[in-house]
Amino acid sequence: MTVDTLNATQVEVRALAEERNAVILAHNYQVPEVQDVAHYVGDSLGLAREAAATAADVIVFCGVHFMAETAKILSPEKTVLIPDLDAGCSLAASITGEQLRDWKAEHPGAIVVSYVNTTAEVKAESDYCCTSGNAKAVIEAIPPDQEILFLPDMFLGLWLERVTGRKLTIWLGECHVHAGIKPEHIERWQTEAPDAELLVHPECGCASQCMAFGNEQTHILSTEGMVRFAERSPKKRFLVATETGILHRLNKEVPGKRFEAVSEQAVCQYMKMITLDNLRTGLRELRYEVDVDAGTAARARTALERMVSIGS
């Protein structure tokens, strides 16, 4: 958004950001007024790359806690802020460092690939991290005869098995928002809008079922991938199976096309904890700082650096 279309609070937020030499990074699931004031809006991969490359002194992360931790690990010399410390992630909470250490002990010699939706402690036990935007490329970068422990999202893991043709050992974690998108949500739309393209996030419980339809109108994509796909597609109508926050970006960046959520209930309450008000307070008071202890960060950095360098 250009500065002349921002409201008074957004103008204040931008002025505070300038004063602090801060960059505001927002995930695609953030509320519209936060997306509109951010300097950069994107998916987990884009945000991690942006955090690693920024010249700003302060990174204000409008997203969930593991994303801010990722920014801190990739840019340890920066101050990283999150406007609400309670912005967690049910998927990241589905495996602890201790559980991963036990799992690794049962599979000596296996390579650990962790989805970025994990705590810093879990990343520190991992060989590679990936996001939905580059998970396939990360798996393909590992020798084919190597056992891979993939965590924590089982639906993403099952989708990766299909698209890479490799057998993975998969942790049975899930995101409550995406697991809540059921095959019946998709089926209803397939009857009501049979010509629409269906954009599905790989964390969805329905992803593998959708693929089983062998339907050429079904596309499994990261949130950024959805925006890029809709831009290129000649189609005018799209059904979106992910958190509903992405609709704001799709409507804004791909005008003249119709986007509908397959489920209006697909709302991540953690992402919505960030508001324009707590963003402003965070910038004013330089709170809440996200820190990762140096030892954990050093062990997690290699896996994250591999993630930001693999895939387009």
Residue 237 burial (CB count, 10 A):
13
Contact call for residue 117 and ligand 13P (CB under 6 A): yes
Q: Does 114 bind ligand 13P (CB under 6 A)?
A: no
Q: Which does 197 bind (CB under 5 to 8 A by kind): ligand 13P, ligand SF4, none?
A: none
Which residues of this protein are in contact with ligand SF4, per CB under 6 A?
A: 64, 89-91, 117, 175, 177-178, 243, 268, 270-271
Going from the C-alpha of 257 to that of each of 114, 227, 262, the distances in angstroms are 35, 12, 16
Of residues 202 and 282, the one with the C-beta less far from ligand 13P = 202
Instruction: Kindly state the smallest distance separating residue 175's Cβ from ligand SF4, in Å.
Output: 3
Q: In the 8-state DSSP scheme, what is residue 152?
A: S
Cα(70)–Cα(51) distance, rounded to whole angstroms? 8
Can you spell out the DSSP letters for 61-116?
EES-HHHHHHHHHHSTTSEEE-S-TT---TTGGG--HHHHHHHHHHSTTPEEEEES
The residue among 44 and 244 lying less far from ligand 13P, judged by its C-beta, is: 44
Stretch that binds ligand 13P, among 11-19, 128-136, 229-237, 285-293 (CB under 6 A): 128-136
How far is residue 124 from each of residues 69, 100, 114, 284, measured CA to CA in Å? Answer: 12, 10, 10, 32
Q: Any residues with CB less than 8 A from the CB of 55 and at least 6 apart, and which?
A: none
Shortest approach of ligand SF4 to residue 217 CB, angstroms? 24
132 sits near ligand 13P (criterion: CB under 6 A): yes
CB of 165 to ligand 13P, least distance (A): 23
Given 13, 156, 175, 230, the residue binding ligand 13P (CB under 6 A): 175
Per CB under 6 A, residues contacting ligand 13P are: 28, 43-44, 117, 131-133, 175, 203, 222-223
